[in-house]
């Protein structure tokens, strides 16, 4: 009987250790998943803010272009050389501003592309961790089922033993 008890204990202990190892891995994975989600949230906010800035710069570029059209029309209608000179200086300032804003826009678009790439990497990592967590939970459930089945087998043996020796449950 001692060897049977030792075998049972050894089998159960092995399953318990395996289950504990999986539970620790699940906990570690969930912590990592939490960190990735926090980082992803920050990245998403940064992407949204950058997109907003891009829209603002695009609007500013549109306004500058409208001013340039008005300036061109005014240049064509200018009567005096002095007026033309002033309008040309205004035009140069507008063109400089357009160049500056366009440069800013290009830099922001590059930043936006980098951010969305980082966001995609984080999303992939989140999916990978979710899949790992699901796999670990399935493994955990399999071990719990094995333990349950093993306990049922033991209970069935006890019931047969009682029947065989006509022992009543007290």
In the chain, where the domains are located: 43-159
| pLDDT confidence of residue 167 | 66
pLDDT digits (tens, 9 = 90+) for 137-154: 999 999 999 889 988 988
pLDDT at 22: 94
- Report whether pLDDT(169) > 60: no
Helix extents (H) in the chain: 2-77, 81-164
Confidence check: pLDDT of 62 > 60:
yes
More confidently predicted of 12 and 92: 92
pLDDT tens string 154-168? 888 888 888 888 765
Q: Are 147 and 15 in contact (CB under 8 A)?
A: yes
Query: Is pLDDT above 90 for 15?
Result: no
What is each CA distance from 49 to 39, 61, 105, in whole angstroms? 15, 18, 14
pLDDT digits (tens, 9 = 90+) for 107-123: 999 999 999 999 999 99
Q: pTM higher than 0.85 for the full model?
A: no
Express each pLDDT in 17-50 by its tens digit.
Answer: 999 999 999 999 999 999 999 999 999 999 999 9
């Amino acid at each position: 009987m001692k060897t049977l008890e030792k075998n049972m204990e050894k089998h159960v202990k092995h399953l318990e250790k395996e289950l504990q190892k999986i539970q620790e891995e699940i906990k570690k994975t969930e912590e990592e998943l939490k960190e990735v989600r926090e980082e992803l949230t920050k990245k998403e906010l940064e992407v949204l803010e950058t997109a907003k800035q891009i829209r603002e710069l695009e609007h500013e570029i549109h306004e500058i272009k409208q001013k340039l059209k008005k300036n061109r029309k005014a240049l064509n209608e200018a009567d005096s050389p002095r007026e033309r000179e002033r309008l040309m200086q205004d035009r140069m300032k507008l063109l400089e501003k357009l160049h500056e804003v366009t440069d800013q826009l290009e830099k922001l678009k590059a930043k936006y592309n980098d951010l969305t790439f980082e966001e995609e990497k984080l999303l992939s990592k989140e999916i990978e961790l979710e899949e790992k967590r699901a796999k670990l939970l399935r493994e955990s459930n399999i071990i719990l089922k094995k333990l349950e089945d093993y306990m049922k087998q033991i209970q069935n043996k006890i019931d047969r033993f009682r029947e065989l020796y006509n022992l009543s449950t007290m």
